Amino acid sequence: MADVFKKNADILINSIIKLNKRKPVHLSIPDIYNKDIISISNELKKNNVAIGKQTDKFKSGLKNVIGSKNILLTSNGTVALFAALISEEINENDEVLVPTLNYIASANAVLSCKSTPHFIDSSLQDLSVDFEKLEKYLKKITVVKKNITINKFSKKRIRALMITHVFGHSGNMHKAMKICKKYNLALIEDASEALGTKYKNKHVGTFGDYGVISFNGNKIITTGGGGALIVKKNTKFQKLKKIINNGKIYDRFDFLHSEVGLNFNLPNLNASLGCSQLQRLKNKINNRRLLYKIYSKHNNAKFELINEPINSKSNFWLQALRLNNKKEKKFLLNYFHKNKIEARSIWKPNHLFSYLKKYPKMNLDNSIKLYNSVINIPSSIKLKDKL
């Protein structure tokens, strides 16, 4: 590796170590305060483990942040995606457009409905869907009959578009909604990484028919495991309330069920942690935005920190570093590891996994290029009292 690249890497590593003040330096870890521990302990003392008032309190707090009244709490983000597909009655006759440069949950949720993931390409700028490329592709491979979009080659219906707001950066929601309207597609926003992120001053996850948030341990706030499902239409919302609760109808004494459902609910104990964590969301976002500014001072011809897209105000959940090629990426990941600094590659494109190779796909050159050049670097460093 050229001396100039190694010199730039050393400067960045020294900056990270100086900010963190100790090794190892983790990528994104839970930020747990004593208030979080007290919040959970209080519910344990009351024996409110699965059921309690903290679930409603957490939902209320999320409604204030997100700006939607129709929010359901789920055990994780993956089942929230699955529930959205169930709500749309996606089945084996359907295809769902999914970015290949994506966490595997989206494709697996589609397969769990016995449906077909149809892999689409990502934007080199914001890492979300390349909508201009997608529109040209759909024009070529589809025919619209009676408001139903048919894949001319597979003869299956294309029913939905799943997009992901990558690393907390918003995709272009104007273009997403335009395509979905033209082709009569349900829009499912995977905003798992984007709590607090806005596009044109509106919270992501509220533009589509459904939006999903994750509270996994590595997210900007955590409930241990957990997720939220945002639902635009009230009729769908009422249906999903039953779907995620075993199809249950409330009765004081009897077990009654009106339809097929599963238990996707978030337990009260997890919600109690979420309530405490949510109080610090604004500070967490400010911290990550400040960290981006510090890291971006190292921008040069070799390193480029990925900034928030136009019209977006990002939570900068994970700081993303764009390199020039696969060789530089491999070297830097190993060099970080040698220095006890946790870094990781962007996701491997889904269509490269053996069990997903057979599914339809467009030209995916952008996704391959991004996979060969983008890594994540430590993003949960606490900056208070360190600057």
Instruction: Locate 302 and state its tokens.
Output: 């070799």
pLDDT at res. 1: 64
DSSP type of residue 165 = -
Picking from 156, 84, 163, the residue whose alpha carbon sits closest to that of residue 131 is 163
Tens digit of pLDDT for each residue in 136-179?
A: 999 999 999 999 999 999 999 999 999 999 999 999 999 999 99
Instruction: Locate 356 and state its tokens.
Output: 């997903």
Instruction: Locate 14 and state its tokens.
Output: 């020294």
pLDDT at res. 387: 40
Convert 102-162 into a string of H (helix), E (strand) and C (coil): CCCHHHHHHHHCCCEEEEECECCCCCCECHHHHHHHHHHHEEEECCEEEECCCCCEEEEEE
Is residue 385 over pLDDT 50? no
Tens digit of pLDDT for each residue in 271-325?
A: 999 999 999 999 999 999 999 999 999 998 888 999 999 999 999 999 999 999 9
Helix axes 3-20, 326-338, angle to 10 degrees: 40
Higher-confidence residue of 245 and 194: namely 194
Please compute the mean of the pLDDT values over residues 363-379 and round it to a whole number: 98
Spatial distance between the Cα atoms of 328 and 343, rounded to a whole number of angstroms: 14
Give the count of alpha carbons within 13 A of 278, CB side only: 23
Q: How many C-beta atoms lie closer than 10 Å to residue 366's C-beta? A: 19
List the single range of 4-8, 166-170, 255-259, 383-387 with lowest mean pLDDT: 383-387
pLDDT at res. 386: 44
Tens digit of pLDDT for each residue in 25-57?
A: 999 999 999 999 999 999 999 999 999 999 999
Q: Beta strand 202-203 with 94-99: parallel, antiparallel or unpaired?
A: unpaired
Amino acid at 217: G
Q: Beta strand 94-99 with 157-164: parallel, antiparallel or unpaired?
A: parallel
Q: Which of the four pLDDT bands, split at 50, 70 and 90, describes residue 251?
A: confident
Helix (H) or strand (E) run with residue 324 in it? none
Q: What is the DSSP string of 284-321?
A: HHHHHHHHHHHHGGG-SSS-EEPPPPTTEE----SEEE
- Which pTM was predicted? 0.96
Residues 225/73, Cβ–Cβ less than 8 Å: no
**Percent of the chain with pLDDT strictly greater than 70:** 99
Residues 249/257, Cβ–Cβ less than 8 Å: yes
Spatial distance between the Cα atoms of 200 and 142, rounded to a whole number of angstroms: 31
Classified as helix, coil or strand, 133 is helix
pLDDT at res. 384: 55
Please compute the mean of the pLDDT values over residues 74-98 and round it to a whole number: 97
pLDDT at res. 250: 81
pLDDT at res. 4: 83
For the chain, what is the total number of helices (H) and then of strands (E)? 12, 18
Q: Which residues pair with 95 in a beta bridge?
A: 116, 158
